[in-house]
Amino acid sequence: MELLAIFISAILINNFVLHYFLGICPFLGVSKKIDSAVSMGLAVTFVMTITAIVSWIINHWILLPFNLEYLQIVSFILIIASLVQLVEMFIRKSSPPLYQALGIYLPLITTNCAIMGLALLAALKNYNFVETVIFGVGSGVGFTLAIVLMAGIREQLDLADVPEPLKGAGIALIVAGIMALGFFGFSGMIK
Amino acid sequence: MSLSSRMVIVLTAVGIISGGLLSTVGILTRARIEANRLREIEEAIITVVPGAKTNTKIYEEKDFTVYTTRNDQGQIQGFAIYTAGTGFQDKIVLMFGTDAEINKIFRLTILDQKETPGLGAKITDKEAFLKYWENKDCSHPLMLKKPPVAQEELGASEVNAITGATISSEAVLATVNASLAKLRSLIQAGTIQIEENNGQ
Amino acid sequence: MASKPLSQEFTKGLWGENPIFRQLLGMCPTLAVTNAVINGIAMSLATSFVLIFSSLVVASIKKLIPSQVRIASYIVVIASFVTMADRFLAAFFPPISKNLGPYIPLIVVNCIILGRQEAFSSKNSVGRSLIDAFGMSLGFTLALLVLSSIREILGTGTWLGHQVLGSWFEPWIIMILPPGAFLTLGILLGIIILIDQKLQRSK
């Protein structure tokens, strides 16, 4: 029950993009087409899940037992950077079709604050191992949901008559604001 | 020097220098950060159990910590319970104090919350919410009064809800009731024992 | 590019290449912490500290670093300064540190900082890099100040905690909630492009 609450809350209530403002760069940058938005979402979900696992292990087996919590930021960012590299190499070797789909998005993920945010938030919320993994998967799904919805709206928006100065990032942010307002309606559904 | 050995040397040097700097900063700030955290708990205990002089942590699990408090004569006054529950947006972290028989809640304070500003966030407001929790009978589960009434008209175990923020009010109520039940069962099971006034 | 006068190196960060309004970098902290002016100021100071010192270090050691490991080295340098800022706030300003939560550690992935190292400090002299870093920091601060002022005034009727709008004003709570952040920044971007177009036409 607790786990389900964490999962749903990560997707709908405390959505990474619309509530924590994490991963805004890819959210605005890669949301022009639904296809690429889906691929980006999948890549992020994949990396988030692995990051959740690895960062928990590092945090609870190395940093906390040896009182090294001040190395948290450095170690998390290095883990994420090397993890993304490893995942990229692994996918390229093992599954060329998957690499075709996700390849160009993986390097972009290193500087994606959503991944770092996930590692930090999981540590901050003091989740145990299973909760951290569920939180990672849920956050990834939430990110995917937000970016795919956004891409769907933006594909339609191309046909709309948007005022010249708002074209591009301006209107995308306003749409995101209205989406965030919609998602706000999910608050309070978990008791 | 070959390129790869230069790469290794540079990375090692950067790592060692930053590691050294950070451990210095880490050690210099650790005591203060820890003291800040303890002071926050200490202040909360004094708020929820008026007149508490000393406190002892007697039980701890995730999101549920129990302290006993003593007054300046060293007599046990009751418990301060640190706990958390799910609110409208995120966790609500709170602390409340009871007497030793767990029949009365002295006071309640909210330590951390991310409820809607202007609505659910009023749970931190004394006039709108917290004052209704003072000296409540908690021998039975507490109940929420909705819509709110004047303070005199509230029953001994009733507290007012915040208009427009029922979910946040209910979340606090449910968290307190659950913690009371948990504390009682822990005492009954003998996991928590109160040593009678042997303070002095 | 290196022959630009120093004053331009500084002012470009304020308007022409403003990191937030023009380059759309570092959006996460911009949106997340601007619900109150005090949080915006704290975030600007912390980010400026990290940006200025990282630029100083990177510009000083750029010749020693082989280009294959430069990103890794920059990240370690940045992460070290972020940790210092984070620990300092937690030790001396616990309420601010609590308010900003994970967003101080997240400065490490703020694209402005790594972006300036890669695009500027790794190619320019120490002095020039410092001026660039100061300009960008000021531009970032300016953007956060504008955004947080709009949101706090409309959202609560206060500025830096002082009441500025009378009791007739019913606060627009949405402004300090997440949707308000997106809407304000979106509209602000539109206004800035509009001003820019007017300026160019009048030239």
Task: Specify the pLDDT at position B1.
Answer: 66
Residue from B86, B112, B119 whose CB has the most chain A CBs within 10 Å, to mutate: B86
Verify whether the Cβ–Cβ distance C82 to A24 is below 8 Å: no
| Res A135 pLDDT > 50 | yes
CA distances (Å), origin C5, targets C121, C128, C135, C168: 16, 10, 13, 50
Q: Nearest Cβ partner of B18 from C35, C80, C176?
A: C80
Residue C81 lies in a domain: yes
pLDDT digits (tens, 9 = 90+) for C72-105: 889 899 999 999 999 999 999 998 998 888 899 9
Nearest residue to C26 (alpha-carbon basis) of C50, C9, C1, C2: C50
Subunits next to A (3 or more Cβ pairs <8 Å) are: B, C
HSE-CB at C168 with a 13 A cutoff on CA atoms is 1
Q: Cα dist. C98→A55, A77, A127, C89, C92 in Å? A: 22, 21, 18, 9, 12
Residue B38 CA: distances (Å) to CA of A72, B34, B76, C1, C190: 22, 6, 21, 54, 47
Counted domains in chain C: 1
Does C25 map to a domain?
Answer: yes
The residue of chain A nearest to residue C31, with distances taken between CA atoms, is A21
The CA–CA distances, whole Å, from C30 to A22, B7, C87 equal 11, 35, 21
Question: pTM for this structure?
Answer: 0.88
pLDDT digits (tens, 9 = 90+) for C107-118: 998 888 988 998
Strand pairing class (B76-86; B64-70): antiparallel
A70–B contact, CB cutoff 8 A: yes
State the smallest CA–CA distance between residue A75 and chain B in angstroms: 10
Domain of residue C130: give its range.
Answer: 6-202
pLDDT tens per residue, range B130-165: 999 989 898 888 988 888 888 888 888 889 998 888
Residue C170 lies in a domain: yes
The reply to whether C95 touches chain B by the CB within 8 Å rule is: no
- Compare all CA atoms of chain C with the CA of B2 and give the residue at the minimum distance: C66
Q: How far is B94 from chain C (nearest CA, A)?
A: 15
In this prediction, residue B196 carries a pLDDT of 57
User: What residue type is assigned to position C22 of the chain?
Assistant: R
CA dist., res. B40 & res. A100, Å (int): 52
Tell whether C1 is covered by a domain: no
- Chain B: closest CA distance from residue C6 (Å): 30
At A191 the pLDDT is 58
Q: Convert the pLDDT of each residue in C6-22 to its tens digit.
A: 888 888 888 888 888 88
CA distances from residue C41 to B17, C137, C140, C152 in whole angstroms, order as listed: 30, 12, 10, 13
Q: Which residue of C has its CA nearest to A171?
A: C186
